[in-house]
Each structure stands twice: as structure tokens, then as C-alpha cells.
A and B are shown apart, each in its own frame.
Chain A
Amino acid sequence: GENVEQHPSTLSVQEGDSAVIKCTYSDSASNYFPWYKQELGKRPQLIIDIRSNVGEKKDQRIAVTLNKTAKHFSLHITETQPEDSAVYFCAASIYKGNKLVFGAGTILRVKS
């Protein structure tokens, strides 16, 4: 089955700096890659996603890149702010509405 690895497990950055979180997946059939932000005790919140037919997607300070050949995708957050501090999860799924396989998560701390 699908396996998703996520790095780093923790990331501390200074406010205003950029943060990058990387994930690799094992199943070449996966075609949907969402990123979630989760605050303590809350549900995961979708922040950006990408499908396998594109290589990059951007939404204001957040961007995701996908390399299908290498089977890895990355989350980029620019101009980080203290409110960006949370746990971030990447995930992968094979087709529409199918189960998500999550990475282990990254604790992001933005120091002001």
C-alpha cells in the first residue's frame, strides 16, 4: 500500500523567514496530494492541494510543488508569521474520494 514519509519532524524559523516541508510517496498511482494544518485538539484544515497533472500551485504565501518522477512534493510557506505555528501534515490518495494516507507530521514553530 501507499506509504508517505515527511521531513522534518520539527522546524523552527524566525518570523518572516520561509519554511519548507518535504514529503515522499511510494505509490506511483497516487494523484492527489493535500496539505493540512492542524491546531491542538482541532480537525485538520486543508491549506493547499495539488493534483498530479500540475507541477506547482500557489496561494498567497503558500505554495506546493510536485515532482512525479521522484515521487515527492513539498510545502513552501513564505513570510512566516507566529500564527503559522501548528502541525502540518502531507497526504496522498489514489483517486477521487479515496482514503488519505498521511505523513507523520511536522511541528512548525515561528519565533517572533
Chain B
Amino acid sequence: GAVVSQHPSWVICKSGTSVKIECRSLDFQATTMFWYRQFPKQSLMLMATSNEGSKATYEQGVEKDKFLINHASLTLSTLTVTSAHPEDSSFYICSAPRDNLYEQYFGPGTRLTVT
């Protein structure tokens, strides 16, 4: 099956700093990737759609200047949480569809803790 990786798997940062999370499709090309956020005991909420070579599409209520997304290649999308605050602490998961198929492949997630 298709493999999607994320790095780092967990990160602790201080309030006010920025953190970058990488999402890679290891054995397929992904023109589109999705970023989700999951708070404890809650569902996955879509934050934005990352499009290779163009601007990301953000869901309503998600600040594009705070959550910077860059999809610079067909195998890599990055999410940068700028000026992180404790309320940004969450589980961030990316996903990517393969070859325009229905199924999406999820990364293992990144646990962000802002102190």
C-alpha cells in the first residue's frame, strides 16, 4: 500500500516560537495533500488542502497566516505553525490520495505540545 510519513512524530516548543511539520508521500506522487487537526477525544477536523504548485485552500476559521502551508514538490507538503500558543497543542495528521483514487493514506501524525 501507499506510504505517507510525517516528521517529527512529536515536538515540544515554547509559546511564541514556530514549528514546521513535514508530510511526505514515500512511494507515490501527491498533487494534493490534506492537513487535519485532532484535539484529545475529538474527531479529525480538516484545516487546509495543500496543492502542489499553488496556494493552499483553508477551511473556514483556520488562520492562513498562522498555519503556513507549502507544497513545493509532488512528494512533500509542510505545515508551519507560527507564533505557537498552548491552544495550538494538538495532534496534526496529513493525508494524501493516490492516483486520483478514492482511498486516502494517512501519515502517522505529529503530536505538538506548546508550553
Residues from 61 to 96 in A contacting B, C-beta threshold 8 Å: 89, 93, 96
User: Chain A residues near B43 (CB, 8 Å)?
Assistant: 89, 102-105
* Contacting pair B46 A100 (CB below 8 A): yes
- In the docked arrangement, what's the CA distance between A101 and B60, Å? 13
* Contacting pair A97 B106 (CB below 8 A): no
Most buried by A among B42, B95, B104, B109: B104
- In the docked arrangement, what's the CA distance between A34 and B42, Å? 18
Most buried by B among A32, A43, A103: A43
- In the docked arrangement, what's the CA distance between A81 and B9, Å? 30
* Contacting pair A100 B34 (CB below 8 A): yes
User: Chain B residues near A97 (CB, 8 Å)?
Assistant: 32, 97, 100-102, 104
- In the docked arrangement, what's the CA distance between A100 and B46, Å? 8
B contacts with A, residue count (CB < 8 A) = 22
Please classify how large the interface on chain A is, using the bins under 10, 10 to 19, 20 to 34, 35 or more.
Answer: 20 to 34
User: Chain A residues near B104 (CB, 8 Å)?
Assistant: 34, 97, 100
Name A's interface SS.
loop
- In the docked arrangement, what's the CA distance between A97 and B32, Å? 8
User: Chain B residues near A44 (CB, 8 Å)?
Assistant: 44, 93, 106
Partner of B93, one of A43, A49, A93: A43
User: Chain B residues near A43 (CB, 8 Å)?
Assistant: 93, 106-109
- In the docked arrangement, what's the CA distance between A14 and B43, Å? 25
- In the docked arrangement, what's the CA distance between A37 and B27, Å? 23
User: Chain B residues near A46 (CB, 8 Å)?
Assistant: 103
- Report which B residues bind A (CB closer than 8 A): 32, 34, 42-46, 49, 91, 93, 95, 97, 100-104, 106-109, 111
- Report which A residues bind B (CB closer than 8 A): 32, 34, 41-44, 46, 49, 51, 89, 93, 96-105
Q: List 10 A-B contacts (CB under 8 A).
A: A43-B108, A44-B44, A93-B102, A99-B49, A100-B34, A100-B46, A100-B104, A101-B46, A102-B44, A103-B43
